[in-house]
Amino acid sequence: MRAAASERVLVLLALLIVAVALFASTFGQTFSGGGDVAQQPMFFPRIVLGLWAALALAALVQAVLAGEGVAPIASWTRIGVVLLAIVVYANAIAWEGFFVPSVVFALVCLPAFGIRNPLVVAAFAVAVPGALVALFNHGLGMPLPTSRFTYLF
Partner 1 sequence: MRTQTLSVLLGAALALPAAAQDFPERPINLVAPFNAGGGTDLLLRGLAPHFAEAIGGDVFVSNMAGGSGTVAASALQGQRPDGYQLGYFSVTVSTIQPQIKNVPYGVDSWTPICSVAASPSMLFVNADSPFQTMDDVVEAVNAAPGEYVYGSSGPGAMTHLTTVAAFAGLGILDKMKHLPFQGSGPAIKELTAGNIQFFGDTEVLMQRGDFRPLVVFNSERLENYPDVPTATEVGIEAPLNELYLWGGLFAPAGLDEDLADILEEACEVAVNSEGFAEFAESSGTVIRYRGREEFDAFFRDQYEANQVLIDAAGL
Partner 2 sequence: MIESLPAALAILFGLEGILVLVLGTVLGIVLGAMPGIGSTVAVAIVLPFTLTMGQAPAILLLLAVYAGSVYGGSIAAILINTPGTPQSAATCLDGYPMAQRGEAGLALGWATVASVAGGLVSAVVLIFLAPQLAAFALEFGPIETFALILLGMTCIVSVSTGSVVKGLLAGTIGIFLSTVGGDPILGEMRFTFGQWQLFAGFNLLAVVIGVFALSEVLIRAAGPITRVSELIDFRGVRLPTRAMWRGRLGNLGKSVAIGNVIGVLPGTGAATAAFISYAEGRRSSPNRDAFGTGEPDGIVSSEAANNAVTGGALVPTMALGIPGDAITAVMLATLTLHGITPGPRLVEDDPVLIAAIFAGFFVINLLLLPLGMLLSRVAAPILRVREAFMMTAIVLLCAVGIYFVRGNTFDLLVMGAAGVFGFVLRRQGFPMAPLVIGMVLGPTLELTLRQGLILTDGSFPAFFTGHPIALVLGIVAVVALAVPMVRAGLARRRGTA
- Residues making contact with partner 2 (CB under 8 A): 7-8, 11-12, 15, 22, 25, 31-33, 36-39, 41-45, 48-49, 51-52, 55-56, 58-59, 62, 68, 70-71, 73-75, 78-79, 82-83, 86-87, 89-91, 93-94, 98, 102, 105-106, 109-110, 112-115, 124, 128-129, 132, 136, 140-142, 144-145
Amino acid at 141: G
Give the residue ranges of DSSP H helices in 26-146: 43-66, 76-96, 99-112, 118-133
Binding mask 88-127 for partner 1 (x = CB under 8 A): ----------------------------------------
The distance of closest approach from Cβ of residue 129 to partner 1 in the complex, given in angstroms and rounded to an integer, is: 20
Q: Please give the radius of gyration of the chain, using alpha carbons only, rounded to the nearest integer.
A: 23
Q: What's the min distance (Å) between Cβ of 88 and partner 1?
A: 22
Sign of CA dihedral 30, 33, 36, 42: negative
State how far the Cα of 120 lies from the Cα of 53, in Å rounded to an integer: 49
Which residues lie closer than 8 Å to 94 by C-beta, 6 or more apart?
Answer: 145
Please identify which residue in 32, 71, 72, 114 interacts with partner 1, judged by CB under 8 A: 32
